[in-house]
Amino acid sequence: MANEILDNRGRGEATWQWPRIHPEAHKFAAIAGIASATAAFFAWETLAWPLGFLVLGICAFFRDPVRVTPQEDRFIVAPADGLVTLIQQVEAPRELVIDDGSGTKGLAPGPVTRISIFMSVFDVHINRAPIGGTVRRVVYMPGKFMNADLDKASEENERQHILIERGDGVAIGFTQIAGLVARRIVPFVKPGDMLAVGQRVGLIRFGSRVDVYLPAGTEPRVLLGQKIVAGETVLAELGQTLLIEGVSQ
């Protein structure tokens, strides 16, 4: 069946199709299209053509292709398209660790591995859930608009933290970070929402970065400089100890 989930047992129907355009693009494309049509009406061709190409560029930026997501419980999948620019041992953001008064626990304190994924304007900017589970936190933090490729952007730029917890207790936190050109983080989810792995959680407009915080003891399966695909690339694999601990909680 065409609507069945594609898997490694031959189920589903795989056909090529044009990527859909996310509705967030409509207003921007409409403005550029009207401006292009107006310029063409007045025979301002030097302006009409660039504006026409801008409409195509906007549609390309907001493309939302179908992704086939690995379904193994031990996999943490990439939440963003882009380039792996940093793999570091850091302390998880305070907003994902402290007691926020909601009655749900945050990430465990202590060093974790942070993988930073830089999204250029040419990448797909729809972000996806790295694991399936319940959204426990969505914390927006105002800030600057420095180059998202800088290490300090994780703490100084406008950003949004998201924490997802599975039913077995395994929790993954990640942060959407605005950059020089990106000026708005658009969330699709809120605390309490149930997500499947690879489900869309939001987008960042016009170039940005996503940081993922892996549980202690989890080894990345990507390399510095690797190009990865949201919802498809396996970012890391939970060790057997973590899976057993999660089930026992």
Q: Which tens digit of pLDDT belongs to each residue from 224-236?
A: 999 999 999 999 9
Task: Tell me the pLDDT tens digit for each residue of 93-112.
Answer: 888 888 777 777 888 888 89
Average pLDDT over residues 45-73: 85
Task: Tell me the pLDDT tens digit for each residue of 142-155.
Answer: 766 555 555 555 66
| pTM, full prediction | 0.81
Average pLDDT over residues 21-28: 81
Average pLDDT over residues 170-190: 82
Q: How far is CA 37 from CA 40, 41, 59, 61, 163, in A?
A: 5, 6, 17, 21, 44
pLDDT of residue 117: 94
Contact between residue 207 and residue 131 where contact means Cβ atoms under 8 Å apart: no
Neighbours of 64 (CB within 10 A): 17
pLDDT of residue 204: 84
pLDDT of residue 62: 83
Is the pLDDT score of 128 beyond 70?
yes
Choose the catalytic residue: 36, 116, 154, 208.
208
Examine the residue annotation and report whether 36 is marked as an active-site residue of this protein.
no
Q: How far is CA 9 from CA 13, 76, 89, 199, 231, in A?
A: 12, 21, 38, 21, 19
Q: Which helix (H) or strand (E) holds 58?
A: helix 45-61
Is the pLDDT score of 1 beyond 80?
no
Contact between residue 133 and residue 166 where contact means Cβ atoms under 8 Å apart: yes
Amino acid code (one letter) for 107: L
Rounded distance, CA 18 to CA 131, Å? 26
Rounded distance, CA 191 to CA 171, Å? 14
Average pLDDT over residues 173-199: 85
Dihedral over Cα of 41, 46, 51, 56: its sign: positive
120 by Cβ neighbours in 10 Å (0-12 / 13-18 / 19+) ranks as middle
pLDDT of residue 49: 87
Query: Coil, helix or strand for 60?
Result: helix
Q: How far is CA 62 from CA 49, 127, 170, in A?
A: 20, 12, 31
